[in-house]
A = this chain, B = another copy of it.
Amino acid sequence: MRASRTPVRRGAAMTTAAPSPRVLDHPSRDDIRLEGVLHALSDPQRLLIVRELARRAAELTCSDFELPVTKSTSTHHFRVLREAGVIQQIYRGTAKLNALRRPDLDTLFPGLLDSVLLAATRQEERSARGDSPSGGRVG
């Protein structure tokens, strides 16, 4: 079942040879749905990816992340994030660069990404301190 498979192209029309840009399908800004974004962020691996992208504030390749899952699963998570409109992915050579779609997200849902990132950081700090349920040192 090999030779008849479609080449790489995922969204682009293959009318031309499409030499350089192996383009990936991204939702346009106005197609981004809040529920989809929340769902994308509700997975620990994906939340980790997003936090790292925000922290480094740079375009990172998929292999820059050291996730405790296989590469197949990584690919899956990156795709979910991309299709939800959270990240942007572009090929460069053999690598694929990932970047947060911060401007779009901030325009659509002001403050959402920031509060999620803050919440994730606080939660991590809390558990790092040892989360005693009845202790309640918060605030």
Contact = CB atoms under 8 A, between A and B. Distances in A.
B123 A34 contact: yes
Main secondary structure of the interface of A (DSSP, over half): helix
Nearest to A33: B123
A21 interface: no
A44 B39 CA distance: 11
A115 B120 contact: no
A133 interface: yes
Interface residues of A, number: 38
30 contacts: A28-B133, A28-B136, A30-B126, A30-B131, A30-B132, A30-B136, A31-B133, A34-B116, A34-B119, A34-B120, A34-B123, A35-B44, A35-B47, A38-B38, A38-B41, A39-B39, A39-B42, A107-B139, A108-B119, A108-B122, A109-B118, A109-B122, A109-B123, A111-B111, A111-B115, A111-B118, A112-B116, A112-B118, A112-B119, A114-B115
Interface of A: 28-31, 33-36, 38-39, 41-44, 47, 107-112, 114-116, 118-120, 122-123, 126, 131-136, 138-139
